[in-house]
Every structure is written in C-alpha cells, then in structure tokens.
Amino acid sequence: MTAKIIDGKALAETLRAELAEKAAALKATQGITPCLAVILVGEDPASAVYVKNKVAACEKAGFRSIKETYPANVEPMVVLGKIAALNADPSVHGILVQLPLPKQFDAEAVLEAISPEKDVDGFHVENVGALMQGNPRFVPCTPYGVMQMLKTENVPLKGAEAVIVGRSNIVGKPMAMLLLAESCTVTICHSRTKDLAFHTRRADILVAAVGQPKMITGDMIKPGATVIDVGINRTPEGKLCGDVDFESAKEVAGLITPVPGGVGPMTITMLLANTLEAAERTLG
Ligand code: GUN
C-alpha cells in the first residue's frame, strides 16, 4: 500500500486566497487592514527565514506587516518597550516575537508582555489556559494547521488513538489539547518514553514533532494510519527532511504529509487566519 499524500502547499494556497478576500472585504467595508507586527532578535538564520516568509505572506494576502529587528545583544527592556508601544497601537492587530530568544531574555516574560488580544501565536499564558479549558482565543499556528489538514481530509477523530511525539509548548502540548477537544484518546510521547514504537504502532493519528531527522520509520506505524510530520530538519547533505522517514512510512501509512510541502505552509496560513480574526474582533 502507498499512502495518499496530504498536499499542505495546495491547501495553504486555497486558504490564503480566502483570507486575502476576507481581508479585502474588511478593508472595503470597515476601513481596517489586518496588521501583523513581527519582532526578530538576533541572527539565527532559520528564524530570519521564518520571519521573512511571514512578512511576505502578509504582503501577498493584502495584510499590513511591521518588522522590527534587534541585534542579539539588545537589552530586553528595549524589546519590552517596543511590545508596549505595539500593544497600544490600535492599527496593529497581531504581535509575534520569533522564538528562540537570546540567553539574556526571559522568554516567558516577553510572551506575557504581549496583549492577549494581539497574541496571534497563542503563547500567552492566558491564551494557553483558554485552550486548555476548551475555549480557545488564539490557537497556536502549527497545531491549528494540522487540525485543518485532518478536517479537510475527513480523518475520523472521535475515539481515534492519537499519539504525539514531542511535548513542546509550541506544538506537542497544544496539539494534544486540540485532539482531545475532538474526542481523540491522546498519548504524548517524549525523549524519556520507554518504548516509543509500542505507542506509535497503536496510533490511528501519529503526529511527529521532535526535531529528530527521520526518527519515525515505517515499522513504527500502524497500517493505514494518518501520519503528520511537523519536523523541519536538514540531512547531512543539506536537504530538508522531517521527523518521519518518508520513504518507509509511505508504504505503511494511509495518509501522510511530506516535508517540505506538508505542515510548513499551513503554519503561516494559520498565522494570517489568527491576525484576520484579531482584526475582526476589534469591531466587537
Ligand atoms: N519559533 C518556531 N516556531 C515558532 C512559532 O510558531 N512562533 C514563534 N513566535 N516562534 C517560533
């Protein structure tokens, strides 16, 4: 059996076209242009690429964007001051601080400084709590994108065994909350899990978000399972690859996301969706 490939790039393009239309309508009817402010601190090349892509996606969808960049040795107070100014600016609807931050920063304090109403990443503790209670305000973009993919593909969720490999605040934990809200039976595995394959082989839905190249191999997958690969890694030859060994996994899975062209394009799409939502909410 060869799995059906979930085309995240195509789905992202469809959704971005819809978001662009909605943004144009908001501008035409209310005079509001959705605006995202992105803060980048330091010279991490991967972060620089992500930020560039976020800004470009805004421009393409007719959103306004503000990009603030700071050197790695900037005083945290400077960044906190900028966040306060963006919080107070009614023309700014979403604020995002690209992670990771340099060592002198207390990342949690920075995330808590963003107004929860503008926290389009969904990382503010108030928004994390709302998600946990099943009443989300902003859903973190990567897990939000994964849920869109599962729903578009009509993957049965109720009662499904969902196994997530990875327990990060950005992906693993919110992913678990979203799948739980859809009545999946959720297992979170991590670096200390004793028999990872025991768990992954039980999964109807397997989400890999560990940052380990090709760690999930075909023999760890239940035949017919839906396999979602959140990993973005580089092989020693410099090629992009996921956390799933695509070649062996696609022979066993029923549905699978590729890397690149799977979850990646969906993350920025959901960032646009959250920014539009934040702009619409200002109307009350
Ligand atoms: N770094 C890696 N992923 C993300 C993300 O989704 N948002 C932010 N702000 N930083 C990240």
Of the candidates 22, 54, 82, 250, the residue annotated as catalytic is 54
Residue 53 clears pLDDT 80, i.e. is over it: yes
Whether 212 sits among the annotated catalytic residues: the reply is no
* Rounded alpha-carbon distances, angstroms, from residue 241 to 51, 132, 237, 257: 20, 31, 11, 11
pLDDT at 194: 98
Any ligand 1 atom below 6 A from CB of 48: no
Which residue's C-alpha comes closest to atom 9 of ligand 1?
98
pLDDT band at 284; cut points 50, 70, 90: confident
Q: How far is the CA of 281 from the centre of ligand 1 (A)?
A: 23
Return all residues near 171 (Cβ < 8 A) that are at least 6 apart. Answer: 140, 142, 143, 207, 209, 230
Residue 1 clears pLDDT 80, i.e. is over it: no
Domain ranges of the chain: 32-116, 141-264
Any ligand 1 atom below 6 A from CB of 96: yes
Class (C level, CATH) for 32-116 = alpha beta
pLDDT at 159: 98
Residue 263 clears pLDDT 90, i.e. is over it: yes
CA dihedral 206, 210, 216, 221 (to 10 degrees): -10
What pTM does this model have? 0.97
pLDDT at 93: 99
Whether 121 sits among the annotated catalytic residues: the reply is yes
Strands (E), 98-200: 161-165, 185-189
- Whether CATH 3.40.50.720 fits 141-264: yes
Dihedral (CA of 36, 102, 171, 10) sign: positive
Q: How far is the CA of 98 from the centre of ligand 1 (A)?
A: 5
Say if residues 236 and 229 touch (Cβ distance below 8 Å).
no
pLDDT at 252: 98
Any ligand 1 atom below 6 A from CB of 269: no
Angle at 74 between CA 69 and CA 76, to 5 degrees: 100
59-108 confidence digits (pLDDT tens)? 999 999 999 999 999 999 999 999 999 999 999 999 999 999 999 999 99
Residue 26 clears pLDDT 90, i.e. is over it: yes
pLDDT at 207: 99
Whether 89 sits among the annotated catalytic residues: the reply is no
Instruction: Identify which of 107, 135, 134 has the alpha carbon closest to the alpha carbon of residue 123.
Output: 107
User: Would you say the CATH fold of 141-264 matches that of 32-116?
Assistant: yes
Structure tokens at 39: 């803060």
Residue 205 clears pLDDT 90, i.e. is over it: yes
